[in-house]
Amino acid sequence: MNEHFFQCPYCWEEISVLLDPSIKHQTYIEDCEVCCRPIEFEVAFEDGELVQFEVRDIEQ
């Protein structure tokens, strides 16, 4: 598992997630550990290296 730090798109706090490099492409939703609002993650790995990491707010 790889730890990756990013800013929440709602509260702008720096938080971290654990990413599994054995799964080449992942899209999932997880709540911010600070403000509890839902964040959509899109993550991609190539040869065990993180090549894409995007977070988006999903509230409308």
Quickly tell me which residue has 């993550």 as its tokens: 43
Residue 52 CA to its chain's centroid (Å): 10
Q: Looking at residue 55, what is its pLDDT?
A: 96
- Strand ranges (E), 1-48: 2-7, 14-19, 25-31, 38-46
Q: What is the dihedral of CA 1, 51, 49, 25, to 10 degrees?
A: 60
pLDDT averaged over 10-residue windows placed end to end, the chain, 60 residues:
95 96 95 96 96 90
Q: pTM to 2 decimals? A: 0.86
Phi, psi of 30 (to 5 degrees): -145, 145
Q: What is the dihedral of CA 25, 46, 55, 13, to 10 degrees?
A: 130
